[in-house]
Amino acid sequence: MLNSDPSIQSLGINSYPQKKNLKNGGSMNILITGGSGLIGQALIKALHADRIIVLTRNLEKTAKLLPKGIALVSSLEQVDFNTLDVVVNLAGEAIVDKRWSTAQKARICQSRWLITQNLVEKIQAANTPPHCFVSGSAIGFYGRQNENAIDESCQDINHEFSHQICQKWESIAQQASSDKTRVCLLRTGIVLADNGGALKKMLPAFKLGLGGPIASGQQYMSWIHIDDMVAIILAAIYQPSLSGAINATAPMPVTNQEFSQTLSAVLHRPCIFRVPAVILRLIMGESADLVLFGQNIIPQKLLDNHFKFQYPSLHIALKQLLIKV
């Protein structure tokens, strides 16, 4: 069994499923797409599972990134969905690594929509399908928002590119929902980790004292510590009360100004520089909108289900990630 032995309480999980509810003599079988990514790798380390299957396009590269004992497959045809208990779908082209040309926009969309559609079809075709399908999404679903706090009930959506990606992504995933399969859609915020993601890209400038707010700095940043992100996925798997759209963000979002000042303070560096919007647009093009506009997201569904965040405040999260004893 792959198991980092985290305590149930520390992960915000009320209970693990009873053995009698699992297939294969009570052993947990789980399929993960995007398992070699930042969230996928962290999830695999925390899983209580007897068999973990990871779908990957590059078997050799993924084998070097993941622990021994993971079953790697290059096609869904190699997986018997009748034997799976859970499917976690984290696959997708990085959304901000490249400028949004027409071709890149198509890659971003299709890398999410096609794999999700294929998973849904396999789940629908199974006689004994997985009891839970956890599928990725993002807070980009809401589009750019003002400073007002919004939760999963928000209907005032800005119909821009980020919403279009997520809306269809979620719509496809929801088709797997049935009386046998519960679907959870994780609207993920900015994931903070010390080994990759947004924080790793920010650190060089901030460590040199050259970091600072972007444009006005008043746009909100809804973030989540990697450990809490993993715990949210585990809660989605193990708690039957969770389904549908779930905001995977910390309960205390901050403005970009607050984020910059907090990161600088944790690193004991000044926060005096400011990145003009025009510079960011020259570098990133249309995708700069993801940074220049934000959302003040509240994870209301998690709070209503008594989820316990290990890192609810940004200062606590950054200190844990960056201050090594």
CA 8 to chain centre: 20
pLDDT at 147 over 50: yes
When mean pLDDT is compared across 18-22, 201-205, 311-315, the lowest value belongs to: 18-22
Q: What value, to the nearest 5°, has the Cα angle with vertex 297 and ends 295 and 303?
A: 175
Residue with tokens 């009320």: 14
When mean pLDDT is compared across 10-24, 63-77, 213-227, the lowest value belongs to: 10-24
Q: What is the pTM of this model?
A: 0.92
pLDDT, residue 10, reads 45
Looking at every residue in the chain, the average pLDDT score rounds to 92
Three-state DSSP state, 57: coil
And the tokens for 192? Answer: 């903070």
CA 190 to CA 300: how far, in whole Å?
17
For residues 15-38, average pLDDT: 74
Residue with tokens 């380390």: 45
pLDDT tens for each residue of 245-258: 999 999 999 999 99
- Edge-first strand order for the sheet with 51-55 is 71-73, 51-55, 29-33, 86-89, 132-138, 182-188, 244-248
Beta bridge partners of 246: 186
The CATH superfamily assigned to 27-192+223-251+297-311 is NAD(P)-binding Rossmann-like Domain (3.40.50.720)
Band of residue 103 on the pLDDT scale cut at 50, 70, 90: very high
Q: What is the DSSP string of 54-106?
A: EE-S-HHHHHHHS-TTPEEES-GGG--GGG-SEEEE-----SSSS---HHHHH
For residues 82-102, average pLDDT: 94
Q: Determine what percent of the chain is predicted with pLDDT higher than 70.
A: 92
Domain ranges in the chain are: 27-192+223-251+297-311
pLDDT at 27 over 80: no
User: Residues 303, 247: contact at Cβ < 8 Å?
Assistant: no
